Amino acid sequence: MWTSRRINSDALGLLGAHPVSMPISELHSALDKRVIDGMLSPTTAIHDFKLYDQIRYGTRINMFSSLLMVVMNKERFASLPDFARKALDGGGRKELGAQGRRDL
């Protein structure tokens, strides 16, 4: 079973899979040669790396998250209308990282 993240590898191992890490660009060949018999990846990878001809069955599970950051010059942020600053400040949770810090 292919996966790209250590935490996902650990989770798959607990489920009885034998995780293998490799560059996503090698998935097509690895599936074709039966080096691996499954993968855990974002659904976009199936199209982007033309894996649809290698995959017969799929199960959608929620094991992925993406990092999203808004980076902005302090002066530009200060020039935004109040509603826009509030929306940006309230759009995330501080416990997830540097959200809300303007000193980075």
Q: What is the pTM of this model?
A: 0.52
What confidence category does residue 65 fall into, taking pLDDT thresholds of 50, 70 and 90? low
- Tell me the longest C-alpha to C-alpha distance in the chain: 57
Q: Which of 7, 6, 46 is nearest to 27 (CA)?
A: 46
What confidence category does residue 12 fall into, taking pLDDT thresholds of 50, 70 and 90? confident
Round to whole Å and give the CA distance between 34 and 101: 47
Q: Which of 74, 65, 63 is nearest to 103 (CA)?
A: 74
HSE of 3, CA atoms in CB hemisphere, 13 A: 16
